[in-house]
Structure 1
Amino acid sequence: MPKLDVYHLRSFGWENDPEEERLKLSTLDYISVSTYNNYCLFFRLEDALKARAVQVLKEGLERTLSQARHLVGRIERDPEGGHHILRKRDDTVEFQVQWLDAPEDAYKYPSIDDIERTNFSTVTLGNLEQWSVLPMTYGERPEANIETHPVVAAFKMNFVRGGMLFHMHHHHFTNDVMGWYGYARQIAENCHAIFNGTSFPSWDPAALDLSRLCKPSPVPEAMITVPPALKRHPAHTKGVSLLFHLPKSKAAKLKNLCSPTEGGGLVPYLSTYDCFNAFIYRTLTRLRAPVFKYPSDTKLFWAEAIDMRRRLQNPKPAPRIRGNVMFCALSNNSAVEQPTLAQVASQWSLSRLATYIRQMTDSVTPEALDAALEMVNIAKNKADVCLTVDGPPPMSMVVTDHRDAYFGDVSFGFGTPLAYRHLADRITNGLIIFYPPRNKSPESDEGMEFIVYYEKRLARQLIEDPEWCEFMEYRGVEAEDSVVREGDEEEDTEEVKVVNVEQVMPVQQDEKK
């Protein structure tokens, strides 16, 4: 059995903390997804540094927990009907350290070379529960329901041959991806200072202030009960997570396809983001349409999570503000003309579809956010306001942009991450996550990576589609669905393989010799 050390960390200076602190969830936090997130950073690390890395990270976490104070405690209900994070003076955060590199265990688990060779795939790791702090793996599971008083966060180091994986779990109602990125960089800077004996970074207490995103409690007579949050739509079939890469040169070529004139005039400004979103939307719709056979005039559900940190002013949020400071553009709740299935699949030009994406993105304004907060505020059952990614029917699409969460310039002292992934073993069909490039050097053609949570039975068709392959490079299966649902075994699915997985075991055997 691998060695597992479990620590219960208190924040630095906890002895002087108040007996209790309550950090209120903002009105906006309820719009996110009721799940745990499992973010992982991958490091190359020599054996001689591993014990030192444990101590540095342990101390770095303790200091960060005294700053990013919302990471300690549990989510509890307010007497007035909302929720807060209850942080008690002697509360701790679980920190696990697992050694998967001992001689007797080392070849049961992939090395950092194996993991990098397969593009940091969750599939390469095997059973994700082995690598995580349970029950904090991703998914809209009962343990993440905020009425069950869920713990906010936990952390785990997993040592493998040649490296280390650092897992950071937190409840989505307490952080979006950029909220995580803010405290993750704070951990890194604290660790860097400890490792090198230099001064510690500053921390702006304003990062804990969510007042801009909170509405005062309405009078009881104004409160309403909203419908329960959606469950997984019954028409969804077994899914798989596929990893693709869009090289910079191909992204530029794709953007050029969005630049022709429309109706005799130039189209509005379109970013590369608009263009690759349109291309992905078109391709997935074109390939899915013959299978699901919806009427051609069907209005498909499309949603986009948008970081509001750069859009909010007066006051402007602190750079590392906690919580969910993101809002969603929803195709079924927007004044923007919503295309039909036929228009998305073929009738609209790519530039017009990209213009639709741009209009949806631009529709998410501070004023629209305030109006939505007023609506959420009057809900008695706020926990049911949250988005359920696979609640809409098949052929829906939800995109979330993680490209700003770049760690290639972030030193923890003992190392700089090779890559980051949001690890998952529960597949919510229709979700798209855009990752930052692993290499941002000007001479590199490395572009963004992205994962598509997609129907497994249709995966091979997407991977081999000639138009898709002209731009997108397939980098393997990122994750498989660990949940067995009724009817899964009846599906006629064609096996899809992790890129280079055939080479993993031979490499291990050669090294063992």
Structure 2
Amino acid sequence: MGRKVTHQLQPLWFNGFKEESFRLSILDIVIPPNYNTYAIIFKSDNADETTVAETFKQAIDATLLQCRHLVGTVEKNQHGDYSIVTKPDSTVELVFHWLNGTGDDYPSYSELERQNFSSRCLGSAATLGIDGMPTARGPDDSPAIVGFQLNFIRGGFILTIHIHHFAVDMAGTTSLVRQIADNCSSIRYGTPPPSWDEAFMDRSRFIAPKIALEDQISPIPRPPRHPDWLPCSWLLFHLPPTKAAALKKLASPKDGTWISSYDALTALLWRVIARNRALVYRPVLKEPAIFGEPINMRSRCTPQISPRYQGNVLAAGLSHHQKSPLTLADVISDSSLPQIAAYIRAITDSVSEKTLDDTVARFAVVRDKSSLDVPLDSLPPMSFTTTDWRNFRLCDNDFGIGQPMAYRNITDTVVENMIVMYPPHKGNAGKDQGVEVVLPFEKQFVDLLINDPIMKEYFEFRGIDVEDP
């Protein structure tokens, strides 16, 4: 579909640059070795495509000259783990893709906005992303860190970024997008280019001391997918601000214990999904309810780590670390919603910088570090995890060309037990835009969730986002 032109950017070609190695930390390589693919959607009715393309090309090139670690590939190092290696001849792929020509049937910007920028309307990574840029690629395959594709559509354009999760978490991706935006603005407005701090690439704080060979241990085998999972879809729901306020009031403990909007929203979704999934899987309700959340730890470290740091600084908040874990019966009906919200707050608050240090120490002794992550689909079907992107507002950046209106993580794979929280998008001006959530549910039974009375009371259903093939 459409016409493509590919450029191989070589930002580090200049004379005098030597090979550079950025050693990954334990916090990087316990992350699933997959590519995340983000689509940032711009509205631009009268864009000069030549100007837009040249501005992005110059801005991405300038950004990669600053964020040098993103130019390289993941390679095995002499320490027995992994580094990002950049060389003078390292390249990054930038593709221009025209989907607005005669005969192209890709939706216009207006149609994407009408459908609330759902991934189903946007299309797959195969349409908006670089040919052959996979969703998962292990560290021993020398994966490239990043690739870009700029897709021109009727009434706008979409910047697609593929980035390997070993390199950055979502906060790190937000830093990258801001740097690209600031370089775009510098080019368009003729202002000085943005600064860049070398410390944003320095992972040494979480690199463990060398472990003697005799003290190293073999890794636990990577667990397989749990056999009981049924194929799932991701469903897109919208929570209007007025409903969010009512929900937080409903979920707030009567003793005055503080909870966040996240706690209230998560408690309700955990209850509703668990109740409906219990109808599908018929679990033993006395079993512990499995809950997990990745937490951005930049502000919880001493001294704090800059939000611009491009790496992984995530800790896992886990239910099984709690002294009195809730059972499935508690989550489904026996505990009150305020009790569940307070429990989630306790999980979040239990994570500290020591959690990061313990993670580094635990995995530093593992001899083969090629597969340290625990796949979420290895957990049983009643498990529940979240990823909260409400504070990662990629569309608040001034690119100087067009206006970002929404972003999505586009994928062909549904993570069966992961909900994703997005900030409000900027489309549909005048509407009461609030948080959006992507919820997984078994594709044969999606009507159970869509027609749930509580979901219908608080949420607007915005369609099926992704379906497992």
Query: Shorter-chain-normalised TM-score: which range?
Result: over 0.9
Q: Quick check: 2:253–2:342 contact (8 Å CA) kept in 1?
A: no
- Aligned twin of 1:39: 38
Q: Quick check: 1:305–1:326 contact (8 Å CA) kept in 2?
A: yes
- Aligned twin of 1:132: 129
String of CA shifts for 1:114-154, please: whole Å, max 9, x gaps. Answer: 1111111221234431221133354xx4xx11111111110
- Aligned twin of 1:303: 292
CA distance in 2, matches of 1:74, 1:355: 43
CA distance in 2, matches of 1:280, 1:9: 44
- Residues 190-205 of structure 1 mapped to structure 2, 5 A cutoff: 190-205=183-198
- Residues 176-195 of structure 1 mapped to structure 2, 5 A cutoff: 176-195=169-188
Q: Quick check: 1:336–1:359 contact (8 Å CA) kept in 2?
A: no
String of CA shifts for 1:465-499, please: whole Å, max 9, x gaps. Answer: 111211111111111223xxxxxxxxxxxxxxxxx
CA distance in 2, matches of 1:240, 1:340: 25
CA distance in 2, matches of 1:135, 1:306: 31
CA distance in 1, matches of 2:92, 2:132: 14
CA distance in 2, matches of 1:232, 1:413: 45
Structure 1 444/46 Cα, relative in aligned 2: closer, same or farther at 3 Å?
closer
Q: State the one-letter code of the partner of 2:70.
A: L
Q: State the one-letter code of the partner of 1:280.
A: L
What RMSD in Å do the two structures reach over aligned CA positions?
A: 1.9
- Aligned twin of 2:113: 116
The DSSP-based 3-state class of the residue aligned with 2:263 is helix
CA distance in 1, matches of 2:110, 2:468: 24
- Aligned twin of 2:274: 285
- Residues 109-508 of structure 1 mapped to structure 2, 5 A cutoff: 109-138=106-135, 141=136, 144-261=137-254, 266=255, 268-314=257-303, 316-332=304-320, 334-439=321-426, 445-482=432-469
CA distance in 1, matches of 2:134, 2:389: 19
The DSSP-based 3-state class of the residue aligned with 2:75 is strand
Q: Quick check: 2:94–2:147 contact (8 Å CA) kept in 1?
A: yes
CA distance in 1, matches of 2:51, 2:39: 20
CA distance in 1, matches of 2:253, 2:75: 54
Q: Comparing 15-24 with 35-44, which one deviates more in the overlay?
A: 15-24
TM-score, normalised via structure 1 length: 0.88
String of CA shifts for 1:82-119, please: whole Å, max 9, x gaps. Answer: 100111111110001111111232xx211111111111
TM-score, normalised via structure 2 length: 0.96
Q: State the one-letter code of the partner of 2:401.
A: F
Q: State the one-letter code of the partner of 1:6.
A: T
Q: Runs in 1 of length 4+ with deviation above 4 angstroms?
A: none
Structure 1 359/208 Cα, relative in aligned 2: closer, same or farther at 3 Å?
same
String of CA shifts for 1:372-414, please: whole Å, max 9, x gaps. Answer: 2100111112232213121211111111111111134311111
Q: State the one-letter code of the partner of 1:275.
A: A
Q: State the one-letter code of the partner of 2:443.
A: K
Q: Comparing 418-427 with 115-124, which one deviates more in the overlay?
A: 115-124
The DSSP-based 3-state class of the residue aligned with 2:403 is coil
Aligned residues: 469
Q: Quick check: 2:177–2:394 contact (8 Å CA) kept in 1?
A: no
- Aligned twin of 1:57: 56
Q: Quick check: 1:195–1:413 contact (8 Å CA) kept in 2?
A: yes
CA distance in 1, matches of 2:151, 2:54: 14
5+ long unaligned stretches in structure 2: none
Identity of aligned residues (%): 37
Deviation of 1:336 after TM superposition, in Å, equals 3.9
Structure 1 436/137 Cα, relative in aligned 2: closer, same or farther at 3 Å?
farther
CA distance in 2, matches of 1:404, 1:241: 21
Deviation of 1:454 after TM superposition, in Å, equals 2.1
CA distance in 1, matches of 2:108, 2:9: 28
Q: Quick check: 2:252–2:264 contact (8 Å CA) kept in 1?
A: no
CA distance in 2, matches of 1:383, 1:349: 42
Structure 1 109/369 Cα, relative in aligned 2: closer, same or farther at 3 Å?
same
CA distance in 2, matches of 1:335, 1:255: 23
5+ long unaligned stretches in structure 1: 483-513
Structure 1 48/39 Cα, relative in aligned 2: closer, same or farther at 3 Å?
closer
Deviation of 1:452 after TM superposition, in Å, equals 1.1
